[in-house]
Amino acid sequence: MEKINRHLMPSQEPEVRRNNFKEVALGYTDEIAYAEAQRCLNCKNPQCVQGCPVNVNIPGFISKIKEKDLDGAATILEQDNNLAAICGRVCPQERQCESLCIRGKLEGPVAIGNLERYVADYALNNITSNIKSDEFKDRKVAVIGSGPASLTCAANLAMKGVKVTVYEALHKAGGVLVYGIPEFRLPKDLVQKVIDRVTALGVDIKLNVVVGKSIYIDELLEENDAVFIGTGAGLPQFLRCEGENLAGVYSANEYLTRVNLMKAYDKSSITPVKRGKKVVVVGAGNVAMDAARTAVRLGGEVHLVYRRSRQEMPARAEEIHHAEEEGVIFDILTNPIRIFGENGNVTGMTCVKMELGEPDASGRRSPIPVEGSEFDIQADQVIVALGTSPNPIIKNSYPALKFTPKGTIEADAETGETNIKNLYAGGDAQTGAATVILAMGAGKRAAKAMLDSFTK
Amino acid sequence: MKDYEIVNKRDLASNVVEYNIYAPYISKHCLAGQFIILRVDAEGERVPFTICDYSRENGTVCILVQTIGYSTLKLSKMQIGDALHDVVGPLGNPTDLSKYESVLLVGGGIGLAVIYPQAKQLKAEGKKVDVAIGARNISLLMYVDEFKQSSDNLYLITDDGSNGKKGFVTDVIKELVDGGKKYDAVFAVGPLPMMRAVCNLTKEYNIETIVSMNSIMVDGTGMCGCCRLSVGGKTKYACIDGPEFDGHQVDWDEAIARGKVYKEEEQEHLCNLRREYGEDK
């Protein structure tokens, strides 16, 4: 096996990008993509495919890049993934497909995510045709929410001719892809193009409809052959400590929604967001990184406070790397215990130093407070990114549906079937906060289960 | 009919406008006490308004809007037949005063929008309902005839005494309770300082008091947590847990501070818009 190093993704320089909201990763050129594709060994038993939650035929589409047949590559990719342009940008490849690549043991895995993005972007800009049959043209399905799980479910059904209506609570479709993930990581024009491709399949998206409030699940079940719930993760969790409701303390959801969905990064936007001078972000997942990097771009000195060490950070490797490059200061092994303020406005937080003990249930070493190590950090803005708990709207409006003790919807992990006939669920609403690709996988499997049920 | 079309619009008082909006998805299931979130145009902010009435037959909802900020000023320029960019709802939980036999409804400013349907309902159910409404001056007293129809006793009061009775709604409550009136509950809706003053007073009298919180919101479905407040030491979301809460448990200082977060930005946007409309003084 010839040794060829993995080709790096061309990116905006940190000093430049920390002052703008344009996409950081610029994408492979034709030359780089072609060269990177050559690194794929086209394994007989490709492990990468097993590592992909939607089992994209990875060697298949990469072979087509080698042949410079991008139309062919796009067709193979789209067969398994309707949101490839998004996955190429936001999937944690280092823990999925790329973690199993045989090349990884030597000089770095094939850059599957970067190649996926390359092909998907080509398809978005150059190919209009979609794979579509009218096999199930007499069937109707309602999909609740328009994030990754719902869009995937809707697209997979529409590709088979099913008449799909998507109900979205916000004024814009896309769920977390539009309100959560920032422009510099996932451009909103691109998300719109992906959504346009889904609607081009015949999917009807109704905005400003809150299922459980504007319309009830009973009504949807009556009017449709099946219903899919993909309402996402729900309520932001706070620290449950003193001072968490001071003015200037945000959930990452609120902060990012103001900036992304409502465009508050633009000073002329009518929806405001505070531009903190000294910002503390709590948490170390992708959402925390998104919030921290956004706060850098809005002109703040940004500290990211995390109770474990860098090794345990749950965010994608690339996000951690980018955040650090952009000047986010990591205060690791640090846990906030109290937020304080003056006249109702936050002025800082008291933290305690932590050390790592034995591994806990999650397999990560559990942090233990160091006695007497309390100290104060000054801050005029605190952004809490500690995950979410399930949204109660569906639960309260439809008590017949079964929920787990954690409050997530109880559904079959393989098919998404719930305890109610013809009612399916998937994505974060079922699993709790997870990744875009896992949500997509659930949407895809639920669509397949629905189609199977239609032929019975 | 276009979605979100303004089907009726009338001035109720100085700077207060009542809008009836075509929104069949909302009117189908909504109940009094719930709210909507609207955006005036494609770049608009998301602003919540309480539903003060609705018609299932006509597919409309009614809101009362005080023209005080950027979006409400823009809205005030829209005419019957114009459509808002989007409206979502019904959000939050309906008011439920069913367990009380004798209620004092207290309204200040456009808080009247929230207490009016309650007065109608309580009266229709044959319960005892007194209404006290307060305003800065006589020109801001609204729904007076409607309240006369829908209450056992109506008490009006103005800050400047221009209606003949000078003072605040708290003065009315004091007078009534000290005079021997008994209420199972007070339902107070208005500006935060007014609701706080009412709660401080009714706490002394030990009368259960319900308030409707008008927190700043973004999505209104629990996703962002912007509208949170402390109630009895616990964090609650006005959008999904409320908007109504036990007023004696609310942390008012915190709610008032959170309500002021964007004051500067709002003022700047409003000034710019006034200049654009040639209305700057």
Chain A: closest CA distance from residue B116 (Å) = 23
First to last CA, chain B: 38
Three-state secondary structure call for residue B87: strand
Chain B: closest CA distance from residue A177 (Å) = 14
Q: Encode burial over A390-415: b for 16+ CB neighbours within 10 A, e otherwise.
A: bbbbbbebbeebebeeeebbebbeeb
Three-state secondary structure call for residue B229: strand
Q: Nearest residue on chain B to A215, judged by CA atoms?
A: B25
Provide, rounded to the nearest whole percent, the portion of chain A with pLDDT above 90: 84
Reported as a pLDDT band with limits 50, 70 and 90, residue A79 is confident
Which of A157, A177, A165, A249 lies closest to A204, judged by CA? A165
Q: Please provide residue B61's backbone torsions phi and psi, each rounded to the nearest 5 degrees.
A: -125, 150
Q: For the domain with range B6-91, which CATH number is right: 3.40.50.1220, 1.10.510.10, 2.40.30.10, 2.40.160.10?
A: 2.40.30.10
C-beta separation of A298 from A258 below 8 A: no
Can you give the C-alpha Rg of chain A in angstroms?
Answer: 22
User: Which residue in the set B86, B218, B222 is minimally distant from A235, CB to CB?
Assistant: B222
Which of A316, A267, A383, A293 lies closest to A23, judged by CA? A293
pLDDT recorded at residue A406: 86
Tens-place pLDDT, residues B245-262: 999 999 999 999 999 999
Residues comprising chain B, all counted:
281
pLDDT recorded at residue B114: 85
C-beta separation of A375 from A387 below 8 A: no
Compute how many other C-beta atoms are within 10 angstroms of the C-beta atom of residue A8.
12
Chain A: closest CA distance from residue B51 (Å) = 14
Do the Cβ atoms of B45 and A345 come within 8 Å?
no
User: Which residue in the set B45, B91, B254 is minimally distant from A270, CB to CB?
Assistant: B45
C-beta separation of A190 from A123 below 8 A: no
Token look-up 């003015």 returns A247
Q: Is residue A168 predicted with pLDDT exceeding 90?
A: yes
Torsion of CA B218, B224, B227, B232, to 10 degrees: 170
Do the Cβ atoms of B257 and A171 come within 8 Å?
no
pLDDT recorded at residue A368: 93
Provide, rounded to the nearest whole percent, the portion of chain B with pLDDT above 70: 100
* Bridge pairing between strands A334-342 and A365-369: unpaired
CA distance B166 to B136: 10
DSSP for B169-211 reads HHHHHHHHHHTT---SEEEEESSHHHHHHHHHHHHHHT-EEEE
Compute how many other C-beta atoms are within 10 angstroms of the C-beta atom of residue A266.
12
Chain B: closest CA distance from residue A263 (Å) = 9
Structure tokens that stand for A275 in this block: 């531009």
C-beta separation of B127 from B101 below 8 A: yes
CA distance A115 to A121: 10
Q: Please provide residue B265's backbone torsions phi and psi, each rounded to the nearest 5 degrees.
A: -60, -45
Tell me the mean pLDDT in the region B218-244: 95
Structure tokens that stand for A166 in this block: 């998507």
Reported as a pLDDT band with limits 50, 70 and 90, residue B142 is confident
Q: Is residue A443 predicted with pLDDT exceeding 70?
A: yes
CATH number attached to the domain at A14-126: 1.10.1060.10
CA distance A182 to A22: 10
DSSP state of A148: H
Structure tokens that stand for B218 in this block: 């973004």
Q: Nearest residue on chain A to B230, judged by CA atoms?
A: A245
pLDDT recorded at residue A362: 77
Residues of A in contact with B89 (CB under 8 A): 210, 213-214
* Bridge pairing between strands B102-108 and B6-13: unpaired
DSSP for B125-180 reads TT-EEEEEEEESSGGG--SHHHHHHT-SEEEEEETT-TTS-BS-HHHHHHHHHHTT
Reported as a pLDDT band with limits 50, 70 and 90, residue A432 is confident
More confident of the two residues A4 and A119: A119
Q: Nearest residue on chain A to B34, judged by CA atoms?
A: A213
Q: Nearest residue on chain B to A388, judged by CA atoms?
A: B223
Q: Is residue A129 predicted with pLDDT exceeding 70?
A: no
Reported as a pLDDT band with limits 50, 70 and 90, residue A1 is low
Token look-up 């006509």 returns B58
pLDDT recorded at residue B164: 79
Tell me the mean pLDDT in the region B36-60: 94
Provide, rounded to the nearest whole percent, the portion of chain B with pLDDT above 90: 78
Tens-place pLDDT, residues A383-412: 999 988 878 899 999 999 999 998 899 999
Tell me the mean pLDDT in the region B110-127: 89
- Number of Cβ pairs closer than 8 Å across A and B? 121
Tell me the mean pLDDT in the region A150-163: 95
Please name every residue paired with B135 in a beta bridge, in sequence order, or none if there are none: B158
CA distance A54 to A76: 13
DSSP for A314-328 reads -S-HHHHHHHHHTT-
Tens-place pLDDT, residues A11-58: 999 999 999 999 999 999 999 999 999 999 999 999 999 999 889 999
For chain B, domain boundaries: 6-91, 102-259
Please name every residue paired with A301 in a beta bridge, in sequence order, or none if there are none: A278
Q: Is residue A318 predicted with pLDDT exceeding 70?
A: yes
More confident of the two residues B211 and A435: B211
C-beta separation of A176 from A252 below 8 A: no
Reported as a pLDDT band with limits 50, 70 and 90, residue A268 is confident
Which of B12, B27, B247 lies closest to B113, judged by CA? B12
pLDDT recorded at residue A128: 75
DSSP for A272-317 reads -----SEEEEE--SHHHHHHHHHHHHTT-EEEEE-SS-GGG--S-H
CA distance A403 to A234: 14
Mean pLDDT over the full length of chain A:
93
H/E run at residue A329: strand A329-331
pLDDT recorded at residue A267: 84
Q: Nearest residue on chain A to B91, judged by CA atoms?
A: A213
Backbone conformation region of residue A234, classed left if phi is above 0, alpha if psi is from -120 to 50, else beta: left
pLDDT recorded at residue B157: 93
Chain B: closest CA distance from residue A210 (Å) = 7
Distances from the Cα of A202 to the Cα of A340, A375, A414, B46, angstroms? 52, 57, 26, 29
pLDDT recorded at residue A43: 93
Reported as a pLDDT band with limits 50, 70 and 90, residue A115 is very high
C-beta separation of A241 from A342 below 8 A: no
Q: Is residue A366 predicted with pLDDT exceeding 90?
A: no
pLDDT recorded at residue B281: 59
Chain A: closest CA distance from residue B238 (Å) = 13
Residues of A in contact with B256 (CB under 8 A): 344
CA distance A412 to A424: 9
Q: B interface mutation test: which of A165, A168, A207, A208 has the most B CBs within 10 A?
A: A208
For chain A, domain boundaries: 14-126, 140-234+390-455, 235-387
Backbone conformation region of residue B79, classed left if phi is above 0, alpha if psi is from -120 to 50, else beta: beta
Burial label, B28 (beta-carbon count in 10 A; 0-12, 13-18, 19+): middle
Whether A140-234+390-455 and A235-387 share one fold: the answer is yes
Residues of A with CB under 8 A from a CB of B: 169-171, 179, 207-210, 213-216, 232, 234-236, 238, 240, 244-248, 250-251, 253-254, 257-258, 262-263, 269-272, 274, 343-345, 391-393
CA distance B220 to B227: 8
pLDDT recorded at residue A4: 84
Mean pLDDT over the full length of chain B:
93
Q: Is residue A234 predicted with pLDDT exceeding 90?
A: no
DSSP state of A98: G
Reported as a pLDDT band with limits 50, 70 and 90, residue A442 is very high
Q: B interface mutation test: which of A146, A206, A213 has the most B CBs within 10 A?
A: A213
Residues of B with CB under 8 A from a CB of A: 25-26, 28-29, 39, 43-46, 70-71, 85-91, 218-219, 221-226, 228-230, 235, 237, 240, 251, 253-254, 256-258, 260-262, 265-266, 269
User: Which residue in the set A244, A253, A270 is minimally distant from B235, CB to CB?
Assistant: A244
The CATH H-level (homologous superfamily) assignment of domain A235-387 is FAD/NAD(P)-binding domain (3.50.50.60)
CA distance A331 to A438: 30
Q: A interface mutation test: which of B4, B216, B224, B269 has the most A CBs within 10 A?
A: B224
Q: Nearest residue on chain B to A237, judged by CA atoms?
A: B225
Contacts of A125 (CB under 8 A, 6+ apart): none
CA distance A404 to B174: 49
Q: Is residue A217 predicted with pLDDT exceeding 90?
A: yes
Level-2 CATH architecture, domain A140-234+390-455: 3-Layer(bba) Sandwich (3.50)
Chain B: closest CA distance from residue A344 (Å) = 5
Q: Is residue B176 predicted with pLDDT exceeding 90?
A: yes
- Given this structure, which CATH class describes domain B102-259? alpha beta
